[in-house]
Amino acid sequence: MRTLLPLPASALLGALLLAACQTTSAQTPAAGGASPAAAATPTAAVPAVRPTQSFPDWLQGLREEATRQGIRPATFDRAFARVKLSDRVVELDTSQPEFTRQVWQYLDSAASDRRVQDGRARMQENATLLRRISERSGVPAEILAAFWGIETNFGGSTGGFSVIDALTTLAYEGRRATYFRNELLAALKILDSGDIPLERMSGSWAGAMGQTQFMPTVFLAHAADEDGDGRRDIWGSMPDVFASTAAFVRANGWRTGERWGEEVVLPQGFPYDQAELSITKPISEWRRMGVRTAAGGEPAGDGNAAILVLAGHQGPAFLARDNFRAIMRYNPSTSYALAVAVLADRLAGRPGVQGAWPRHEQPLSKTERVELQQRLAALGMEPGTADGIVGANTRNAVRRFQASVGAVPDGFATKSLLDRLRQASANVQLPG
């Protein structure tokens, strides 16, 4: 930590330069909340951002901007009287995962038997409150509880970072300075409103707050004072936590009376190039194509849906309806959204995933994903930029390669597929 010593407000800015150069050791708590595609070590460093202004000059400009936005100078000075620039936050911001977990590994922990057991107990404790908020908002109680469980393990891991310290660090020397500057100003508005005292405003290293991990701008837009005490307290008031989460999920497009989707079985010869979240069809069309539920019936209802196959043709398939996209607007990861959906189903007494995952398949490292893209490009499969991110372009390139060698074109990038690519491109010059 680079620590700013407590000073009177009038002397704060003048002493920042000296204080910012001091380093002290401190124990850094783990950040709360769920991390989709959570990384295993090791991590690869991203170059740190070198600030263009001295911290005192930057802070003076922030103070002026905050004042223009209506934040009282006394609130600003109180928030920054003991502010610390966190080396740990910089480290977390500038690290990228070298390995990612497979979707089933994420689900194993995110929707584990223990979490289901704990979640049902916590839902029972809050049954009356959850029923009231669910009936009013149209968001099922199990969905609210699933967000709570995935984000902070039902309030057990909300993060121990000072939100002001974390956001100040990221706004000053993070890779997304503009984004975090806006979040920092929003956090100051929350303090200015009196919703939470400074000493209780804790969260993740990225500034996500409370029991369902709201960023400050989300808090300002959707946090609710359900218990009527004049404060929106998503840290300690369960009425405020659930009402705020319901308001956010509802605003993200949740459709009352519909499920997120369901597990399905695909017919033999299914066109796997259609298994993309970006490709939606009327549910009646999926029925016509032979898609069936895991229980053997036809998918019910109208509207549009997409087919998700997150582990290739050897793994389970899912029919993702509009509410699956509403979950993704909370966190734009298909693994995250599936974890919320599966945990919610299990909390409500429905079965979890029925199909078997191909657990023998190991994840590709980032270096291997880049190599995969380079070899696909060398064979003319057009995967796009070799950036190590397996998106739609790379999956389509994988499908083209799989079709060329007589494999099921499901787009699932695996170590065994990379081995086949190495053989096929052994005598081809890889692009730089």
Predicted pLDDT of residue 50: 76
Burial grade of 76 (CB within 10 A; 0-12, 13-18, 19 or more): buried
Answer yes or no: are the C-beta atoms of 249 and 139 closer than 8 Å: yes
Residue with tokens 């939100």: 163
Q: Which domains does the chain have, with CATH numbers?
A: 2-29+45-98+161-209 (1.10.8.350), 366-424 (1.10.101)
CA–CA dist 209, 162 (Å, integer): 10
| Cα-to-chain-centroid distance, residue 330 | 7
User: How confident is the model at residue 335, as a pLDDT?
Assistant: 94
Q: How far is CA 354 from CA 91, 317, 318, 341, in A?
A: 39, 10, 11, 14
Q: Decide: 23 and 2 in contact? Cβ < 8 Å.
A: yes
Residue 432 CB neighbours (<10 A): 5
Nearest CA to 329 out of 251, 263, 256, 262 is that of 251
Contacts of 345 (CB under 8 A, 6+ apart): 142, 351, 352
pLDDT at 154: 98
Q: Are 263 and 316 in contact (CB under 8 A)?
A: yes
**What is the pLDDT, as a whole number, of residue 12?**
41
Do 29 and 160 form a contact (C-beta atoms < 8 A)? yes
Cβ burial, residue 277 (10 Å; 0-12/13-18/19+) = middle
Q: Name the nearest CA neighbour of 245 among 345, 111, 143, 331.
A: 143
Question: Cα separation of 19 and 21, whole Å?
Answer: 5
Q: Which of 408, 372, 389, 383 is nearest to 275 (CA)?
A: 408
What separation in angstroms does the CA of 262 have from each of 294, 341, 344, 418?
8, 9, 12, 31
The pLDDT value recorded for residue 29 is 30
In this predicted structure, what is the pLDDT of residue 94?
A: 87
* Spans of the chain, pLDDT less than 50: 4-43
CB 245 within 8 A of CB 210: no
Task: Supply the pLDDT for residue 45.
Answer: 58
- Residue 368: predicted pLDDT: 95
Q: Tokens for 334?
A: 């298909």
pTM of the predicted protein model: 0.88
What count of Cα atoms within 13 Å lies in the side-chain half-sphere of residue 2? 17
Q: What is the pLDDT of residue 430?
A: 81
Contacts (Cβ under 8 Å, ≥6 apart) of 335:
36, 37, 103, 106, 107, 310
